[in-house]
Structure formats: C-alpha cells, structure tokens
Amino acid sequence: MVYLDHAASTPMYPEAVDAMTAQLTRIGNPSSLHAAGRAARRVVEESREAIAAALDARPGEVVFTSGGTESDNLALKGLYWARREADPRRTRILSTTVEHHAVLDPLHWLAEHEHAEVELLPVDHLGRLDVEAFRAAVERDPASVALVSVMWANNEVGTVQPIADVVAIAHAHDIPVHTDAVQAVGQVPVDFAASGVDLLTLTAHKVGGPYGVGALVVRRELALTPQLHGGGQERDVRSGTIDTPAIAGFATAVELAVKRQAEHAERVCALRNDLVSRVTEVVPDAGVNGDPDCAPDHRLPGNAHLTFPGCEGDSLLMLLDARGIACSTGSACSAGVPQPSHVLLAMGHDDEQARSSLRFSLGHSSTQADVDALVEAIGPVVERARAAGAVSGIGGSARKAV
C-alpha cells in the first residue's frame, strides 16, 4: 500500500513499539504503593519528564489523557467552567472557523448547554487567522472572554497559525490561550514555554506512537475543572488508571519526532513539492490549497491539499484506494452523503470546490516511490472521476470555478 494519510495517523516508530511492548507483560498499577506499582510509576514519570523536555515544559505540566479529543475537551470545558466560576462575566470563547471538530464540537456543546458565547473568527484564503479581526473581538470586551483556542496548524490544508500574535493580544488582557498542536508536534518546532500558550494538546498516534494516549500540557498555575472524577490521578485534573505501556511508547515517539523534526521537515517538504509539481503537470487545472511556503511558520512540511475540478473527492479517494493508494478528503461524511469541508468553505471556496479536494500527507515512512505511484495513478483516476461526474451531472460548475 502507498500510504499518503500521515495526518490521520502515522506508523509507529519501531523504537516506540519496543518501548511499549516491553511494558505489556509487566504487572503493576502506577497508583499502587508496592514494588510493582512503584516500578510502573517510575516508567510513567520518566515518560512524563521525556515529553516535557522535548516540548520545553515542566513535567508537572504534562497531563496524560486518552488522546487529542479528550485533551481538547478537557482544555475547553475545564477552563471555561473554572474561569466562569471565578468571574461569571467570562462567558465568551474566541476560536477560528477552521478548527478540528475536536474543538468545534465541544464549543458548540458549551454554547448549547452552558450558555457560552462562541465566536468563530475568519481566516484568509490561505486558511490563516485574520489577526486584526481577532484583536477587535478581544478588545470589544476583554473582561467577558473566558479563553481563546487557536490550532497551531490546520489538519486539512496545513497552514500554520500566528500563535505568537494570538498569545500577545490575549495575554495583554490576561486571557489564557489553548492550542491544538496535534498536527504540529514533530512537524514544525513546538516550544511550549517560548510560545506563551497556556494549554497545548498533543496525541501519540500523530507522532509515531500508539493509539489511545495523548496529553494536555497545562501551566501549573492554571485552574481546570475536571471532567472525570475518581482516583484523583493526573493532578486531580484527569482521574483514571493511566496506561503505562502506551505512555512509554508515546514518550519514545515524542522524543524521536522532536529530535528528528528538522531533518524530517526538509525531507518530506522536498517530497511534497515534487508531488505537487508533478500532479499539477498531469492535471493542469488542479488547484493547490493552503500556504505555498514550506517555512515552519507557514505550512506543515508534508501537507499537499489539492482541488480537482469536476470530481467528487470521495470518488477520487475510492478510485485511488482501489489502486492501493491511501489519502483523505479531509471532509466529514454523514450517512454516505459527502459534505463540503468547513475549512475550505471558510477559506472562500464554494460547495463544489470544497467537495472536490484531496489531502495527501507525507510522514516519516514516505518515499519517492510513494510519490511516483500517485503521479502515475492520478491522471486516469481524475479522468474516470470526471466521466462519472459528467454522467451524474455532478461537478460541472466546479470545473469552471477553479
């Protein structure tokens, strides 16, 4: 299989597999006081220290969770409840129109059930936050803002957000900032302390670790209302017996991904640029989405997001899958009905354009042969998808629009 969907999940590093499997046959709850429990606790705390060191955070700031979705929910709900309890005026949450659904859906829930006033701020045609619109939203009534959540890098088009600007504007009014950095860690430099953010989400399976484990890095001085109540593990913020083997694999993956980040970015950016250049030669009217600049403050190095006029993205995906090539549309699908990407709509694309796109994302196991296979397949696949669209009456106007 040619795997070009690393943004969805990337293969585990062999070293992470070894670290995880070494713990699978060992007994001991890390909350137990006997020798087996203390041994498990040692593995957890050494893993916490390793992740903290890789991200330039303090070990006590790393709270283990089941993954990115839980970390985002804990950050948004926990911080909103804590801030509102301290000051009932703080009911506004500022975010962007291009966030992952792990952020958008909790925000929608808070608006519907907890009287939060959620404001989703616009982005430009590259998918980057309009900083002046954000500044205006903050300064309109800063005392009412509970928190800000802006992703580090977009999961669909790869555009990196202006986190430094967001932090400077928010912190001028003592407003905490959360960032979903699930896509960014290991792809671009991520320094928790230097960034100034107050909460940062990451997950293992995006960086070469196992599924089902992640972390929320949260400044020690920040109060969060827990969502899970029980044994008081993880600073009383996230109760529940923690997964020692998965955490060991997670820590190894984070260490390796961060250590190799610069070399990785250079290599996959070259592959990505070759992919884009050659695919657009084969399909000249294909459009490239997101920031074209491969600099770490502009775009994720391995992200190639393209629109193919006259095609349904889901059809392209299945045709490529039949040829052994895995990629993603980056859009939601409800009951088999393709839905346009909310990210592309926010960037100014119309519905048909937003349904005609594919995301190819490269990772640590990607090779030149993967790119060559896609280039060989894409012409016939697009031709077949367009023929199917013409027969069904789908996609004609999209061909003219891009």
Query: Residue 68: is its pLDDT beyond 50?
Result: yes
Query: Residue 132: is its pLDDT beyond 60?
Result: yes
CB of 218 within 8 A of CB of 63? yes
Q: Domain 14-259 class?
A: alpha beta
- From-to residues of CATH 3.40.640.10 in the chain: 14-259
- Under the banding of pLDDT at 50, 70 and 90, the label for residue 266 is very high
Beta-bridge partners for 358: 306
Q: Across residues 364-373, what is the average pLDDT? A: 98
Beta-bridge partners for 305: 289, 359
- Under the banding of pLDDT at 50, 70 and 90, the label for residue 51 is very high
- Under the banding of pLDDT at 50, 70 and 90, the label for residue 270 is very high
Give the DSSP letter of residue 184. T
- Rounded to whole angstroms, the Cα distance separating 51 from 253 reads 9
> What dotted CATH number matches 261-401?
3.90.1150.10
**SS3 of 130, please?**
coil
CB of 226 within 8 A of CB of 75? no
User: How far is C-alpha 332 from the geometric centre of its chain's CA atoms?
Assistant: 15
Alpha carbon of 90 to those of 108, 148, 174, 222, 323: distances in Å?
17, 12, 12, 15, 53
Query: Residue 222: is its pLDDT beyond 60?
Result: yes
Q: Which of 294, 311, 327, 333 is catalytic?
A: 333
CB of 49 within 8 A of CB of 59? yes
Q: Across residues 74-86, what is the average pLDDT? A: 97
Q: Across residues 340-361, what is the average pLDDT? A: 94
CB of 80 within 8 A of CB of 147? yes
CB of 125 within 8 A of CB of 157? no
Q: Across residues 54-70, what is the average pLDDT? A: 98
Q: What is the 3-state secondary structure (H, E, C) of 216-257?
A: EEECCCCCCCCCCCCCCCCCCCCCCCCCHHHHHHHHHHHHHH
pLDDT at 108: 98
pLDDT at 88: 97
Beta-bridge partners for 177: 148
pLDDT at 236: 87
Q: Across residues 289-297, what is the average pLDDT? A: 94
For residue range 307-348, list pLDDT tens digits in order: 999 999 999 999 999 999 999 997 544 435 567 899 999 999
- Rounded to whole angstroms, the Cα distance separating 207 from 191 reads 16
- From-to residues of CATH 3.90.1150.10 in the chain: 261-401
Q: Mean pLDDT lowest for which of 20-34, 242-256, 263-277, 383-397?
A: 383-397
- Tokens (6 digits) for 367: 């090779």
pLDDT at 338: 64
Beta-bridge partners for 306: 288, 358
Residue reference for tokens 């992740």: 51
- How far from each other are the two terminal CA atoms of the chain, in whole angstroms? 31
- Under the banding of pLDDT at 50, 70 and 90, the label for residue 401 is very low
For residue range 137-195, list pLDDT tens digits in order: 999 999 999 999 999 999 999 999 999 999 999 999 999 999 999 999 999 999 999 99
Query: Residue 393: is its pLDDT beyond 70?
Result: no
- Under the banding of pLDDT at 50, 70 and 90, the label for residue 390 is low
Q: Give the side-chain half-sphere CA count within 13 A for 189.
A: 9
333 Cβ contact list (under 8 Å, min separation 6): 314, 339
Q: Which long-range CB contacts under 8 A does 111-114 form with residues at least 24 apart?
A: 114/77, 114/80, 114/81, 114/84
Confirm whether 311 is a catalytic residue.
Answer: no
Beta-bridge partners for 94: 119, 148
pLDDT at 339: 79
